[in-house]
Chains A and B, each alone.
Chain A
Amino acid sequence: MGLFSKEGTFKVLFFGFVLGVIFWGGFNTAMEATNQESFCISCHEMEENVYQEYTDTIHYSNRTGVRATCPDCHVPKEWIHKIIRKIKASNEIYHKLLGTIDTPEKFEAKRLQLAQNEWKRMLGTDSRECRNCHDFDSMDFDKQESRSSDRHEEAIDNGWTCIQCHKGIAHELPAGYDPADDTPGGEEEDEEKDD
């Protein structure tokens, strides 16, 4: 009888609910713990290289005191994209164990490849993480320098995305990399439009 009686069904539902809350809550809490800056820089690879560079930039320290921490840019906010990124991050644990970038020299040698991975990811999502805070619709072009507002309007018209121009804004650019090679716009494209 037990389980199939009215009382039994109630008990199963109740305990299922309680266990669900505990497991789901625990899972989410654990995942959120890995979404803290303190977790990111608990690895010396992150703390000694990219974090130090980032402390010099406007995303770390600025007039109004609003900060973008590591996960704000590097981990998506929406749950499903977040989970996918977290699963992909297991590769980072593997390379942490291998010690792929455990010295500044090794990191510097790999920097171009690592940067390109992240640029590619951002390009693929139309700079989703940038746009969590920076929104074209909320930009007051009158408050920008005319050169910036011209470029931003050009970007809206052509459907460019943040990362195409804004590379190396929170971390140093890889040595020898010239962002002008990849930045969209310029004469060639203007000529194509005229045709």
Chain B
Amino acid sequence: MSVILEVINAEKYYGNKGNISAALNDLSFTVSEGEFVGIMGASGSGKTTLLNCISTIDTLSAGRVLIRDKNIAELKGKELDRFRAECLGFIFQDFNLLDTMTARENIALALSVRGEDSAKIDDKIEDIAKLLGIIDVLDKFPYEMSGGQKQRVAAARAVVTDPELVLADEPTGALDSRSSKALMESLGKLNSERNSTILMVTHDTFSASYAGRILFIKDGQIFTEIVKEKNESRKDFFRRIVDVTTVLGGELDEIV
């Protein structure tokens, strides 16, 4: 399996002379094609900083982020815009749908920005909508949908362009448990049926259990990593995740 994302010795510092705090501290990992990776950690552990640096929203202080062997720090201006349009898909906690447009138009926009032929757009939308179970809401406006539907539309928009990497930032953060389950099942389907590579930041153990591998971050470093076994049930994987988070939390208790 080829490597999609490579984070090498990533460091990120905040603050100025004499008062520097490290958000990322010599952090390295790779994500291969077709993987569903979860990143977990307490607030302030640096997981959002990491995601921002991978998604080109922020830049690293030191180290490199390679996506398909391309150093994203070297991308500028139009190249960067093209890169975002073609290689990345985003899913946010608060959906970020355009509220003046229908679901169909929201999804179509991601394609038309890339200069996709208008004739093919409808087919692509139908395909992805079928997979994510949002066929019924395609012609509705965001305000007419439930939170779960909105987030699935956002997911459809993120993956319809077949990006190299889908970045999800707390996708279930604003959803109730039922919607969360539906969304995570959808993301799981995207991963298994469309072979989408997904990198998801979450602090919700349940959501994380849908991933194939989990990186635990603490103080800007990778604390540990667990991988779902081939025949392991999601329930068992969930328990292991809970165990690790307990250890993480326990250490915090020791400090106190």
Task: Tell whether A pairs with B.
Answer: no
